[in-house]
Amino acid sequence: MKRIFAALTALTLVFALASCAENGGSEAAGRQRTATVFAMDTFVTVTAYCGDETLEKVGRLVTELDGRLSRTKADSDIGRLNASGTDGAAVSGETAALLKEALAYCAESGGVFDITVAPLTDLWDVAGKAAGGSPTLPSSDEIADAMLRVGYEYLTVEGSEARFSCDGMSCDLGGIAKGYAADKAVELLKADGVSSALLQVGSSIYVLGEKPDGSAYTVGVRDPEGAASEYIGTLPLKDKYITSSGDYERYFELDGARYCHIFDAFTGLPVDNDLRSVTVVTDSGARGDYLSTALFCLGLENAVRMCREENISALFITKDRRVYTVGADFEAFTLTSGDYTYEN
Amino acid sequence: MKTKLSLKFKARDAFVIAAALLIAAAVFLLTLPKANDGRLYAEISRNGEVLASLPLDADAEYIVNGDYENVVTIADGSAFFSSATCPNGDCVHAGRLTKAGQLAVCLPNGVTLRIVGAEAGVDAIAG
Amino acid sequence: MRNGVKKLTVCGLMTALCLILGYIEHLLPLTLLIPLPGIKLGLSSIALLVLLLTYGPAYAYGVTALKCTLSALLFGSVTSLAFSLTGGLLAMTAMWLLTVAFGGKLSVFGVSVAGAVLHNVGQLAAASVFMSSAAVFSYLPLLALAGTVTGLATAAVTSRVLHLTGYDKE
């Protein structure tokens, strides 16, 4: 009897200790790690199976890019360019290349996407009003005046010098900087031998590889009418960038109308069409950011046509809660929300 | 007393111990968190009311006031009570929580700190 | 009459003993070793179990209630009173019922383990009511394991004490 008692006591002790060790003990090496950096007006999160060193490098990279590309930092390349009037400013080779890429997107979209809408952005100050400022509308004169200072054609980049040919202009790479940062971060992760990672820049995501157990990473497409944690459907992805543009990110409301942070460069007004949001899946982050913005500006019909012509994978959510998808990357999309109708 | 208990361990005592262990195992299985590779959140509640749900991957500090004051710190993918003015400080001794389903409580102030998984099914949300 | 006075005196001493044992645990909390809220040796259960077996349930319940109230007044708060009363009374009930129902078949070890585990269950029940959340019950598996161990340990002491009082001789 004594033996049974001793054995039971020992067993109990072992169980108790094992449970405690499991709770308080250190994690096994090579576990999933996550790092977050606050930069580019948002947060950048990397979840990867890698060393802390790689995560730190990604953090530094994003902070550096932010320091070079931020419009709100006076000493950044873009800050100096915007302050230079028509004198032009010398920028880093990387910034020059990105400006050229951005100008190519502007031209490709026929001006629907325009990196020089900053005067309109400032005039409307949607971000400020969304954050609690008093919602007021600018007068049509003010809008017309700002429009005079908008036009990507008046920005030229030669070598490493960028120059406006019209006074009072400003450029903002915010529209593609996040995607670009994602591209660079993914390059860095790959160079460090990371084969599986989830990189989030704000609400845009680059999916690198598969989960270590061989299953695909699954991304939810945000419900434009719900909280940030709610999604309308799911999509498995591998080695792709996914990003959305919509009228729910930053906006203010006045007299029942909603004014969002994406501008129609032709009217000078916030975009207001049949779309709530556009989500695109691309290989390149910068291109993904450009496409989601441009497609959102176009409205459903024109956007779907553009996707078909140019072989773009996109998902559209309309104001009347219909969901449309185009392209191969959305074939595996599953609608999970009962509030929306899937049209195909 | 009519009935007298034996002072020596009896075979039937093993049944009591087995029952205790069985209850432990059953509750453990019932409360076992679902496997989740998604983001983890630290859910802070007081007296049953959720005060905050903070992602474990973003460093943060959250102060809970009440009868006492608890400071919840989120760092290095873990959440923990970093300091507290409650009498015994058990919540601070509870250590760092890193996995879904883990829990630390401050009974005097009625505060629970719990690690919960992302809503379900997705690793991240685009938009 | 004489017997009554003696019993009352012993109960007073037992209450004091419980408080001292509780204070020792308060000074050297087991939570420092194992970070689990509510985990403790439960030294005072030695005195309470001895009392239950020698003087019967009425005295044991009385001392349990007194001990919980006084220790809450001395070292704790209103909430700790609620926790320890729920735990203490539930534990006492479990030990009493087991003694009555299976007295001939069990030893102090089984009874003590049941008391320790039920003490933890009672505390968690009180905590879940207090916090309006059943989440604390995820502590039960570990606390039940701990209760089994501490229950066996205190039973060993109880067994020795009862032997010294001649409980097993009459």
CATH number at residue B68: 2.60.320.10
Q: Which among A5, A9, A12 is the top mutation candidate for probing chain C, defined by the most C β-carbons within 10 Å of its own β-carbon? A: A12
Q: Is B110 part of the contact surface with chain C (CB cutoff 8 Å)? A: yes
C-alpha pair distances (Å), B109 with each of A7, B60, C61, C78, C116: 40, 21, 29, 12, 25
Residue numbers in B near A224 (CB within 8 A)? 127
Range of the domain at B90: 40-117
Is residue A235 scored above 80 in pLDDT?
A: yes
Residue numbers in B near A8 (CB within 8 A)? 14, 17
Residue numbers in A near C106 (CB within 8 A)? none
Which of A317, A335, A228 shows the shortest CA–CA distance to A279? Answer: A317
The answer to whether position B97 is within a domain reads yes
Q: Is A13 part of the contact surface with chain C (CB cutoff 8 Å)? A: yes
The answer to whether position B90 is within a domain reads yes
In this structure, the strands spanning B111-117 and B124-126 are: unpaired
Give the count of Cβ contacts less than 8 A between chain A and B: 86
| Total tally of structural domains belonging to chain B | 1
The answer to whether position B94 is within a domain reads yes
A179 to chain B, minimum CA–CA distance in Å? 13
Q: How far apart are CA C34 and CA A20, in angstroms?
A: 7
pTM for this entry: 0.56
> Does the beta-carbon distance from C34 to A5 stay under 8 Å?
no
How many C-beta atoms lie closer than 10 Å to residue A133's C-beta? 12
Q: B12: nearest CA in chain A?
A: A1
Q: How far apart are CA C162 and CA C170, in angstroms?
A: 12
Residue numbers in C near A24 (CB within 8 A)? 35
C-alpha pair distances (Å), A264 with each of A243, A317, C110: 20, 19, 78
Q: Concatenated DSSP letters for A99-139?
A: HHHHHHHHHHTTTSS-TT-HHHHHHH-HHHHHTT----PPP
The answer to whether position B63 is within a domain reads yes
The answer to whether position B58 is within a domain reads yes
> Does the beta-carbon distance from C37 to B107 stay under 8 Å?
yes
Residue numbers in C near A5 (CB within 8 A)? 109, 152
Q: Mean of the pLDDT values across residues B62-83? A: 88
Q: B114: nearest CA in chain C?
A: C135
The answer to whether position B79 is within a domain reads yes
C26 to chain B, minimum CA–CA distance in Å? 9
At residue A186 the predicted structure's pLDDT band, cuts being 50, 70 and 90, is very high
B66 to chain A, minimum CA–CA distance in Å? 28
C119 to chain B, minimum CA–CA distance in Å? 12
Q: A18: nearest CA in chain C?
A: C142
The answer to whether position B13 is within a domain reads no
Collapse the DSSP code of B78 into the 3-class scheme (helix H, G, I; strand E, B; otherwise coil) and give the result.
strand
End-to-end CA distance of chain A: 73
Domain extent listing, chain C = 2-165
Among the residue ranges A48-52, A145-149, B67-71, the one predicted with the least confidence is A48-52
Q: Is A25 part of the contact surface with chain C (CB cutoff 8 Å)? A: no
Q: Mean of the pLDDT values across residues C115-121? A: 94
Contact residues for A163 (Cβ-Cβ < 8 A; gap 6+): A84, A86, A87, A88, A89, A155, A156, A157
How many C-beta atoms lie closer than 10 Å to residue B2's C-beta? 7
Give the count of Cβ contacts less than 8 A between chain A and C: 22
Residue numbers in B near A204 (CB within 8 A)? 126
Long-range contacts of the stretch B81-84 (C-beta < 8 A, 24+): B81/B106, B81/B113, B84/B109
Q: C145: nearest CA in chain A?
A: A16
Among the residue ranges A97-101, A225-229, A245-249, A309-313, the one predicted with the least confidence is A225-229
At residue C162 the predicted structure's pLDDT band, cuts being 50, 70 and 90, is very high
The answer to whether position B10 is within a domain reads no
Mean pLDDT taken over chain A:
86
Long-range contacts of the stretch A67-72 (C-beta < 8 A, 24+): A68/A92, A68/A94, A68/A95, A69/A40, A69/A95, A69/A98, A69/A173, A69/A177, A69/A180, A70/A40, A70/A177, A71/A118, A71/A170, A71/A171, A71/A172, A71/A173, A71/A174
Is residue A13 scored above 50 in pLDDT?
A: no
Q: A199: nearest CA in chain B?
A: B124
Q: Mean of the pLDDT values across residues B70-94? A: 87
C-alpha angle C64-C65-C70 in degrees, rounded to nearest 5: 100
> Does the beta-carbon distance from C37 to B105 stay under 8 Å?
yes
Residue numbers in B near A202 (CB within 8 A)? none
Is residue A21 scored above 90 in pLDDT?
A: no
Write a three-state SS string for chain C. CHHHHHHHHHHHHHHHHHHHHHHHHHHCCHHHCCCCCCCCCCCHHHHHHHHHHHHCHHHHHHHHHHHHHHHHHHHCCHHHHHHHHHHHHHHHHHHHHHHHHHCCCCEHHHHHHHHHHHHHHHHHHHHHHHCCCHHHHHHHHHHHHHHHHHHHHHHHHHHHHHHHHCCCCC
| Angle between helices A174-191 and A93-108 in degrees, nearest 10 | 120
| Helix H or strand E segment including A220 | strand A217-222
**Greater confidence, A229 or A263?**
A263
At residue A133 the predicted structure's pLDDT band, cuts being 50, 70 and 90, is confident
Collapse the DSSP code of A94 into the 3-class scheme (helix H, G, I; strand E, B; otherwise coil) and give the result.
helix
Contact residues for B124 (Cβ-Cβ < 8 A; gap 6+): A198, A200, A205, A217, A219, A220, B38, B39
**Segment of A151-160, A197-206, B33-42, C16-25 carrying the highest mean pLDDT:** A151-160
- Nearest by CB to residue A13, choosing from C109, C141, C149, is C149
Write down which chains contact chain A via at least 3 CB pairs under 8 A.
B, C
Domain C2-165 has CATH 3.30.499.10: no
Q: What pLDDT does A22 receive?
A: 34
A34 to chain B, minimum CA–CA distance in Å? 6
Q: What is the ipTM of this complex?
A: 0.83
B69 to chain A, minimum CA–CA distance in Å? 24
pLDDT digits (tens, 9 = 90+) for C4-35: 889 899 999 999 999 999 888 878 877 777 77
- Nearest by CB to residue C146, choosing from A5, A9, A16, is A16
- The position carrying tokens 């991240």 is B124
| Region of B83 on the Ramachandran plot (φ > 0 left; ψ -120 to 50 alpha; else beta) | beta
> Does the beta-carbon distance from B123 to A218 stay under 8 Å?
yes
| Helix H or strand E segment including B41 | strand B40-46
| Backbone Cα Rg of chain C | 16
Is residue B83 scored above 80 in pLDDT?
A: yes
Q: What pLDDT does C36 receive?
A: 72
Give chain B's contact residues with A (Cβ, < 8 Å). 8-11, 13-14, 17, 21, 37, 39, 56-59, 77, 95, 98, 102, 118-119, 121-127
A16 to chain B, minimum CA–CA distance in Å? 11
Q: Read off the tokens for A318.
A: 């309309």
Residue numbers in A near B57 (CB within 8 A)? 34-36, 45, 47
